[in-house]
Amino acid sequence: MEALVPFDRTGRGVAGRLTAALRTAIEQERLAAGARLPSSRELAADLGLSRGVVVEAYEQLIAEGRLVARRGSGTIVAASVHTRQAAAADPFVAAGLRPLRPGIPDLGLFPRAAWRRAYDRMVTTVRDADLDYGDPAGPMAVREQLAAYLGRVRAARLTAADLTVTAGAAQAFALLGRVLSADGHRTVAMEEPGSRGVREQLAHALDVLPVPVDDDGLDVGALERTRARAVVVTPAHQFPTGVVLAPARRAALIAWARRTGGLIIEDDYDAEFRYDREPVGCVQGVAPDVTVYIGSASKALAPALRLGWLSAPPRHLSRVRVHKRSIDLGGPILEQYAFADLLATGGYDRHLRRARRAYRTRRDALVSALDRHFPGRPVHGVAAGLHLVLALPPGADDAALAAAAAARGLGPVALSACRLTEGPPGLVLGYAAHTADELAEAVAVLARINRELP
Ligand SMILES: Cc1ncc(COP(=O)(O)O)c(C=O)c1O
């Protein structure tokens, strides 16, 4: 404490000087919010002062709101004035809600009861032998349910034998990166802008070549001009622009793959959510010979499950499984069985219908709040998924706006953060995880922050 609160202990006015030294230490956050101060008796002994002096200083700082006296836990540094003001102005800071963060479903909708029933059923019925190290691709019974679901809902053309269950789409990308690298690929093309996470997962093994996206999705002509022989695409709902890969582009992409021996890596990350029409089927269903299909339960259920899947042409699939085995000997079995049970009993479909209804309303609420607070600013992305893009005026600093918003408890992502190259500024805004009222309030705060930016 002596070092933390230096002050002159000689002469008159020592209580005032101790108070001032403590005040400075709190303001400069050398004494951080929540830190417990020594008892008045201990501090007095420590500093060689009478206890009354310390009591006087503590009482003054308690009166100022800088310290809090808690029965049983002593005297504690209060949250800083700055933090308290920010929290009062922005309830999101205090609650840690981060509204507008893209890519996250409403975790409050997680079907806990259905999941518990599914898990219970599985834990009671799996055989002892099922609890052994299993097939690194995941139990066959799980993959059968998944294959049936993907065929029915995404028009995928695959069987259980083609699938490997992974720890989220993230692991599928990481595994595939290794396989392609071992296969002699040095680069992988990827939509620009695109997912930062996916780029990172691939960048461990490969150089990622950005290929531009326009209103029709990936520019296949630009892809053809690169040396890449593998490309990551999000055809159903491009991340982050939200466009759909146009039919002519789909055809051109498949033609590119067949002509060059190229590989289409289809990230079908949020395809279950389409609000104005049925989603288009996946590219894999049309071209299984040249497509690796990657999916995830992160957007439909919860990222915490770490449940994803990959289907690949046989040549790649066997090596994906070798890597999967060498990395983790396979994923958690009981969770996979519970997921399969949810698929088989219709619990997954019921949950998706419920989530879809909520997200459609929330998207509408976000769009109308943006209309109100950012008049004239275009909103990009079809009515699908969990996010949209707010276009900012040319020259706007989207990274600065996203950083200022983050400091106020909001979660938008700058479009520039999703790029390797220069491009028009914008914000990627998620809407699934918050109510219409919360979104309206978040957009009002965002507009205020935008006006206050230099
Ligand atoms: C474009 C994209 N693909 C895939 C994923 C899913 O990743 P995971 O299944 O590892 O949670 C995300 C999640 O943020 C994403 O944004």
Q: Write the DSSP string, 168-232.
A: HHHHHHHHHHHHHHHTT--EEEEEES--HHHHHHHHTTSEEEEEEEETTEE-HHHHHTSS-SEEE
The residue to which tokens 């009861």 are assigned: 113
Mean pLDDT computed over 423-430: 97
Report, as an integer, the average pLDDT of 226-243.
Answer: 97
Protein residue with its CA nearest to atom 7 in ligand 1: 169
Place of tokens 């201990």: 42
Name the residue type at position 12. R
Q: Which atom of ligand 1 is nearest to the CA of 308?
A: 9
Please report the pLDDT score of residue 31 as a whole number. Answer: 87
Q: Is the CB of 173 under 6 A from ligand 1?
A: no
Q: Are 167 and 136 in contact (CB under 8 A)?
A: no
Ligand 1 contacts CB of residue 268 (under 6 A) = no
Given a cut of 80, whether residue 83 has pLDDT beyond it is no
Quote the pLDDT of residue 85: 55
Cα(124) to ligand 1 centroid in Å equals: 32
Q: What average pLDDT is seen over the chain?
A: 93
Whether 238 has a pLDDT exceeding 80, the answer reads yes
Tell me the pLDDT tens digit for each residue of 119-145.
999 999 999 999 999 999 999 999 999
- Going by C-alpha positions, the residue among 326, 268, 294, 333 that lies closest to residue 132 is 333
In the three-class reduction of DSSP (H, G, I as helix; E, B as strand; rest coil), residue 390 is classed as strand
CA-based end-to-end distance of the chain: 40
Q: Is the minimum distance from the CB of 147 to ligand 1 under 6 angstroms?
A: no
Query: Is residue 90 pLDDT above 60, yes or no?
Result: no
98, 410 contact by CB (below 8 A) = yes
pLDDT tops 90 at residue 88:
no
- Give the pLDDT band of residue 97 (cuts 50, 70, 90): low
Do residues 352 and 299 touch, judged by C-beta distance below 8 A? no
CB 67 within 8 A of CB 28: no
279 near 236, Cβ under 8 Å? yes
**Which residue has tokens 């709902």?**
237
State if residue 298 touches ligand 1 by the CB under 6 angstroms criterion: yes
> CA dihedral defined by 18, 24, 25, 29, rounded to 10 degrees?
160
CA of residue 227 to ligand 1 center, whole Å: 26
Beta bridge partners of residue 295, listed in sequence order? 309
In this prediction, residue 166 has a pLDDT band, given cuts at 50, 70 and 90, of very high
Predicted pLDDT at 282: 98
Is the CA virtual torsion 92, 95, 96, 100 positive or negative? negative
Q: Count, in order, helices (H) and strands (E) of the chain.
A: 16, 15
Encoded amino acid at 175, one letter: L
Q: How far apart are CA 80 and CA 84, in angstroms?
A: 6
Handedness of CA 282, 287, 291, 292 (dihedral sign): positive
169 lines ligand 1 (CB under 6 A): yes
Closest CA to 291 of 264, 309, 257: 264
Q: Which residues are CB-contacts of 47 (< 8 A; sequence separation ≥ 6)? A: 1, 2, 9, 18, 54
From the CB of 196, is ligand 1 less than 6 Å away?
no
The domains located in the chain, with CATH, are 14-89 (1.10.10.10), 111-349 (3.40.640.10), 350-452 (3.90.1150.10)
Ligand 1 centroid to residue 106 C-alpha, Å: 15
Residue 91 identity: P
211 strand-pairing partners: 191
Asked if residue 193 has a cis previous peptide bond (ω within 30° of 0), the answer is: yes
Buried b (16+ CB within 10 A) or exposed e, 210-247: bbebeebbbbbebbbeeebbbbbbbbbbbbbbbbbbbe
Q: Which two tokens stand for residue 339?
A: 């997921």
Is 301 a pocket residue for ligand 1 (Cβ < 6 Å)? no
Q: Ligand 1 pocket test: pick from 146, 299, 386 the residue with the most ligand atoms within 8 Å of its Cβ.
A: 299
**Contacts with 239 (C-beta within 8 Å, 6 or more apart), sequence order:** 103, 191, 194, 195, 267, 269, 270, 418
pLDDT in tens, 378-403: 999 999 999 999 999 999 999 999 99
CA–centroid distance, residue 298 to ligand 1 (Å): 7
CB neighbours of residue 431 within 10 Å: 31
Provide the CA 107 distance to its chain's centre, in angstroms.
12
Site to probe by mutation for ligand 1, drawn from 101, 146, 176, 195 as the one with most ligand atoms within 8 Å of Cβ, is 195
238 lines ligand 1 (CB under 6 A): no
| Cβ of 296 less than 6 Å from ligand 1 | yes
**Which residues have C-beta within 8 Å of that of residue 294, sequence separation ≥ 6?**
169, 172, 173, 176, 265, 266, 267, 268, 269, 308, 309, 310
Which atom of ligand 1 sits closest to the CA of residue 103?
14
Q: Is the pTM of this model over 0.85?
A: no
User: What separation in Å is there between the alpha carbon of 238 and the centre of ligand 1?
Assistant: 12
Q: Which of 198, 245, 335, 429 to mutate to test the pocket of ligand 1 (most atoms within 8 A of CB)?
A: 198
Written as six digits, the tokens of 260 are 């060059």
Distance 310 CA to ligand 1 centre (A): 13
345: left (phi over 0), alpha (psi -120 to 50) or beta: alpha
Q: How many CB atoms lie within 10 A of CB 371?
A: 13
Q: Which of 265, 293, 296, 428 for mutating ligand 1's site (highest number of atoms within 8 Å of CB)?
A: 296
**Tokens representing residue 350 in the block:** 């019921």
Q: How far is CA 440 from the centre of its chain?
A: 21
Residue 89: pLDDT over 80: no
Is a pLDDT exceeding 70 seen at residue 95?
Answer: no
Tally Cβ neighbours within 10 Å of residue 453: 12
